[in-house]
Amino acid sequence: MNLKVSDVGEKELVRYIISASNDIVADDTAISKLDGTNLISTCDMLIQSRHFPENMSYFEMGFKSVTVNVSDLAAMGASPLGFLLSIAIPKDLPIDDFKQIIDGVLGACSFYSIPLIGGDTNEASEIIISGTALGLCDKPLLKNSYSIGDLVVITGDIGHAALGFNLKTQDNIYSKKSLKPIARLKEGIMIKEANATSATDITDGLASELYEIKKDGFGFMIYEEMLNISDEFKRMARQLNLDYLDLILHVGEDFELLFTIAKEDLEKLDMDYIVIGEVNSSDKVELTLQNDIVIEIENRGYEHYVSE
């Protein structure tokens, strides 16, 4: 059988790359030993037609290109070291628009205290921004080092960006989350210092990330009543003919952190957080609905290459 990349999707392609290499330490980022600590490195490519909503400004495009990479550093509990920018643009792009993209990049670098240290430019039929973020961390947070009984926690409300992508107006918290997401860099360092047992960032949806960190013999029970879903969120989703739980579970782009932590370490967290469930031995990813019915969460989220 001659499979195409659309038959397997991005994550399976990444698994192939990892299995074919003896040098990759795979998590949210690469981890390389360096002078008694660890170099944390990550890269992410954003394509205008795939990753930037039509109402996103050029400044916001540049800002997001830094955020998506810094979010991976945050998931490791790393301190930022430097950012490299590679950008391909149409030859007829107005200079002022190009400058706005760079202003967004530099604005984000200043916001996250991560200096722009290099990169490359090229020509393309649409805007393509590829960023590489470097950081340092003595003991990086990994995805699957949790234990049964640990709590499952997120750093803030999720589903907001997913709803925002469907709204025409921009003057609301949902559109702002979709157009200018913020990486939880400081929170990543805080949860590492509080002895969190695992972490990842929520880019492809809560369900996808839970399955990404799941290991054999372990499961997660998530509780709808603990997800902090407002009546306004449910009402707006209903008006758009959208399933509010689908927005919460299967879309992503919130760039909040999903982490696990022992119950006794929770009080060490000097930050806002939302406990949404716990680690168990069910070997399933499940959701207890508000009516107490338990359902298994589908392993589905945003994935490149797969046709919808």
Residue 169: the pLDDT is 86
Query: What is the token pair recorded at 156?
Result: 């803030």
Residue 308: the pLDDT is 44
Query: Domain boundary at 104, 136, 168, which?
Result: 136
Query: Domain boundary at 136, 159, 175, which?
Result: 136
Residue 172 lies in a domain: yes
User: Do both 9 and 131 map to the same domain?
Assistant: yes
pLDDT of the chain along its 308 residues, tens only?
Answer: 577 766 666 666 666 666 666 555 555 688 999 999 999 999 999 999 999 998 999 999 999 999 999 999 999 999 999 999 999 999 999 999 999 999 999 999 999 999 999 999 999 999 999 999 999 999 999 998 999 999 999 999 999 999 999 998 888 999 999 999 999 999 999 999 999 999 999 998 999 999 999 999 999 999 999 999 999 999 999 999 999 999 999 998 999 999 999 999 999 999 999 999 999 999 999 999 999 999 999 998 654 433 44
Instruction: Encode pLDDT of 170-200 as tens digits.
Output: 889 999 999 999 999 999 999 999 999 999 9
Residue 303: the pLDDT is 47
Kindly report the average pLDDT of the chain as a whole number: 92
Do 180 and 60 touch, CB atoms closer than 8 A?
A: yes
Q: Say whether 84 sits in a helix, a strand or coil.
A: strand
Instruction: Encode pLDDT of 50-66 as tens digits.
Output: 999 989 999 999 999 99
Residue type, 293: I
User: Do both 131 and 251 map to the same domain?
Assistant: no
Give the CATH number of the domain where residue 216 resides: 3.90.650.10
Do 46 and 65 touch, CB atoms closer than 8 A?
A: yes
Tell me, what DSSP letter sits at residue 150? P
Q: How many domains does the chain have?
A: 2
Residue 48: the pLDDT is 96
- Domain limits for position 20: 5-136
Residue 168: the pLDDT is 87
User: Do both 290 and 168 map to the same domain?
Assistant: yes
Instruction: List the one residue out of 261, 239, 1 whose CA is nearest residue 149.
Output: 261
Could you give the CA distance from residue 220 to residue 113 in angstroms, rounded to a whole number? Answer: 35
Terminal alpha carbon distance of the chain:
22
Q: Which long-range contacts (CB under 8 A, 24 or more apart) does 291-296 make?
A: 294/221
Give the CATH number of the domain where residue 27 resides: 3.30.1330.10
Residue 170: the pLDDT is 85
Query: Domain boundary at 136, 160, 182, which?
Result: 136
User: Do both 156 and 132 map to the same domain?
Assistant: no
User: Do both 248 and 174 map to the same domain?
Assistant: yes
Residue 19: the pLDDT is 63
User: Do both 189 and 258 map to the same domain?
Assistant: yes
Residue 190, C-beta contacts closer than 8 angstroms, at least 6 positions apart: 269, 270, 271
Q: Say whether 18 sits in a helix, a strand or coil.
A: helix
User: Do both 49 and 166 map to the same domain?
Assistant: no
